């Protein structure tokens, strides 16, 4: 039995000719009708090269969306083609200017919601305000929770991110959060350089990331060391002691992000004083504001490796800094989400590192 449209006669009007469609009832409690799904990938203005690389891995071009900033600083968004019923993925990192890119992401999400997208996934490689995940002092906000609330209020059905500053941020959401990690990429990078086994030691920058460093060390067949640090003020770190044997070994220091580089530089100095022969460092998100490049270039760090979750200035970047691409990992995750397949299977179920 075919259900005939009550508006079939309208298709004979000039300019309203459409292909005939029909819905076939199923004996089950649903009606099947194609096409089944459409994956559409869009990019904000924070890291378009990363979004383009993701599209190349997926074999899809970035969707057309008009983004502009009015003279008074307000953002504008309009999807140029219909996204009704589509599975929409919006790539927008929290890179500087953080607030502008965050608001642009919220506007893009709401615009997609009002345009009747079937499901909206915010792909946020670096989650903004992730360091403000708790109250460290009285009368402070928990801004990471506020950002989570705003994403949900805008209409995000799912969030895809990488290497959060703290695992509890996932609990700030009531929608699914796919948390990916670059740790296996770094482990393979160092193994390719021959940096694994008894001659190296995986170092945690603080006790809070000891579990992460232990997993990193297991990937490299290396021992573990932990640094104890204090922060006299924001973006300033002092290492008070190194716990573990690093003498005569190559230290591999891992963290989730590099801002000014203060933690890594202080850590490298402390590790060298403790007897480490060389100090390598890696972090998923490299921000490098101000004179961070110059400070790292002049430090005792042998090499610093980051990913392209945040755009890195290719002109001023010193040779001491390497950049690994994460577009392949994000593309595979997006495809698994789109196909309703397991995301943790990408890491053999080992992506819960906190």
- Of the candidates 156, 155, 204, the one whose C-alpha atom is nearest the C-alpha of residue 353 is 204
Contact (CB, 8 A) for 177 and 170: yes
pLDDT, averaged across the chain:
88
Residue 206 DSSP symbol: S
Q: What percent of the chain has pLDDT over 70?
A: 84
142 and 154 in a single domain? The answer is yes
pLDDT at 345: 80
* Full-model pTM: 0.87
Counting beta carbons within 10 angstroms of the beta carbon of residue 70, is it exposed (0 to 12), middle (13 to 18) or buried (19 or more)? exposed
Average pLDDT on 136-146 reads 94
Average pLDDT on 238-245 reads 80
pLDDT at 234: 59
320 and 337 in a single domain? The answer is no
pLDDT at 57 over 50: yes
HSE value, Cβ hemisphere, 13 Å, CA-based, for 88: 33
pLDDT at 27: 55
The structure tokens listed for 126 are 């670096």
Q: Higher model confidence: residue 27 or residue 140? A: 140
Alpha carbon distances (Å) from 126 to 64, 131, 212, 232: 23, 11, 18, 26
How many helices and strands in the chain, by DSSP H and E?
8, 16
Average pLDDT on 283-308 reads 94
In a domain, 7, yes or no: no
341 and 284 in a single domain? The answer is no
Average pLDDT on 100-120 reads 98
147 and 102 in a single domain? The answer is yes
pLDDT at 32 over 90: no
Average pLDDT on 78-90 reads 96
251 and 275 in a single domain? The answer is yes
pLDDT at 135: 92
pLDDT at 91 over 70: yes
196 and 291 in a single domain? The answer is yes
In a domain, 207, yes or no: yes
175 and 237 in a single domain? The answer is no
pLDDT at 10 over 90: no
Measured in whole angstroms, how far is the alpha carbon of residue 237 from the centre of its chain?
25
In a domain, 115, yes or no: yes
HSE value, Cβ hemisphere, 13 Å, CA-based, for 213: 24
In a domain, 205, yes or no: yes
Which of 81, 113, 199, 229 does the annotation list as catalytic? 229
pLDDT at 248: 96
pLDDT at 237 over 70: no
223 and 307 in a single domain? The answer is yes
116 and 211 in a single domain? The answer is no
Catalytic-residue membership of 66 = no
pLDDT at 2 over 50: no
DSSP sequence for 71-115? TTS-EEEEESS--TT-EEEEE----SSHHHHHHHHHHHHHHHHHT
Average pLDDT on 214-238 reads 80
Alpha carbon distances (Å) from 33 to 30, 37, 241: 10, 10, 64
pLDDT at 286: 95
Contact (CB, 8 A) for 269 and 247: no
Non-local CB neighbours of 203 within 8 Å, separated by 6+ positions: 213, 224, 225, 226, 227, 242, 244, 246, 251, 252, 253, 254, 267, 271
In a domain, 318, yes or no: yes
Residue that is written with structure tokens 């709401």 in the block: 110
- Of the candidates 342, 346, 339, 330, the one whose C-alpha atom is nearest the C-alpha of residue 38 is 339
Residue that is written with structure tokens 């609990």 in the block: 171
Beta bridge partners of 185: none
In a domain, 166, yes or no: yes
Q: Looking at residue 317, which CATH number applies to its domain?
A: 3.40.50.2020
Q: Which of 3-12, 183-192, 267-276 has the lowest mean pLDDT?
A: 3-12
44 and 177 in a single domain? The answer is yes
In a domain, 71, yes or no: yes
pLDDT at 1 over 50: no
Phi-psi region of 290 (alpha: psi -120 to 50; beta: other; left: phi over 0): left
Average pLDDT on 152-181 reads 95
As a whole number of angstroms, the distance between CA 177 and CA 166 comes to 13
pLDDT at 42: 98
56 and 138 in a single domain? The answer is yes
pLDDT in tens, 264-274: 888 899 999 99
The structural domain count of the chain equals 2
Residue 219 DSSP symbol: H
Q: Which of 5-19, 145-159, 212-226, 275-289 has the lowest mean pLDDT?
A: 5-19
pLDDT at 73: 95
DSSP alpha helices (H): ranges in 95-166? 98-114, 143-154
Domain that holds residue 89: 39-181+329-347
pLDDT at 299: 93
61 and 43 in a single domain? The answer is yes
The structure tokens listed for 148 are 């989570």
In a domain, 301, yes or no: yes
Report angle CA 144, 147, 149 to the nearest 5 degrees. Answer: 110
């Amino acid at each position: 039995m075919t259900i005939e449209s009550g508006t079939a006669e309208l298709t004979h009007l000039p300019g309203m000719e459409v292909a005939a469609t029909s819905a076939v009832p199923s004996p089950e409690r649903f009606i099947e009708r194609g096409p089944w799904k459409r994956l559409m990938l869009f990019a904000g203005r924070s890291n378009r090269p990363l979004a383009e690389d993701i599209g190349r891995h997926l074999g899809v071009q970035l969707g057309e969306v008009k983004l502009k900033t009015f003279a008074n600083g307000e953002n504008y968004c309009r999807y140029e083609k219909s996204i009704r019923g589509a599975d929409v993925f919006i790539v927008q990192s929290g890179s500087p200017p953080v607030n502008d890119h965050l608001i642009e992401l919220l506007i893009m999400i709401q615009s997609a919601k009002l345009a009747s997208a079937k499901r909206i996934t915010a792909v946020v490689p670096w989650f903004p305000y992730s360091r403000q995940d708790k109250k460290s002092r009285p009368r402070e906000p928990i801004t990471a929770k506020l950002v989570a609330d705003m994403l949900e209020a805008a209409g995000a059905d799912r969030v895809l991110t990488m290497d959060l500053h703290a695992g509890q941020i996932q609990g700030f959401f009531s929608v699914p959060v796919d948390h990916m990690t670059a740790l296996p990429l770094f482990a393979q990078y160092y193994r390719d350089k021959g940096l694994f086994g008894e001659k190296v030691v995986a170092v945690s920058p603080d006790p809070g990331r000891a579990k992460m460093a232990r997993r990193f060390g297991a990937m490299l067949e290396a021992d573990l060391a932990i640094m104890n640090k204090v922060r006299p003020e924001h973006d300033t770190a002092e290492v008070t002691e190194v716990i573990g044997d690093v003498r005569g070994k190559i230290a591999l220091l891992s963290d989730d992000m590099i801002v000014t580089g203060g933690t890594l530089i202080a850590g490298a100095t402390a590790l060298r004083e403790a007897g480490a022969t060389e100090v390598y460092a890696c972090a998923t998100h490299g921000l490098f504001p101000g004179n961070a490049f110059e400070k790292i270039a002049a430090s005792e760090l042998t090499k610093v490796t980051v990913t392209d979750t945040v755009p890195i200035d290719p002109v001023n970047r010193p040779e001491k800094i390497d950049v690994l691409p994460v577009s392949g990992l994000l593309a595979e995750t997006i495809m698994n989400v789109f196909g309703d397949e397991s995301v943790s299977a990408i890491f053999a179920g080992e992506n819960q590192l906190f």
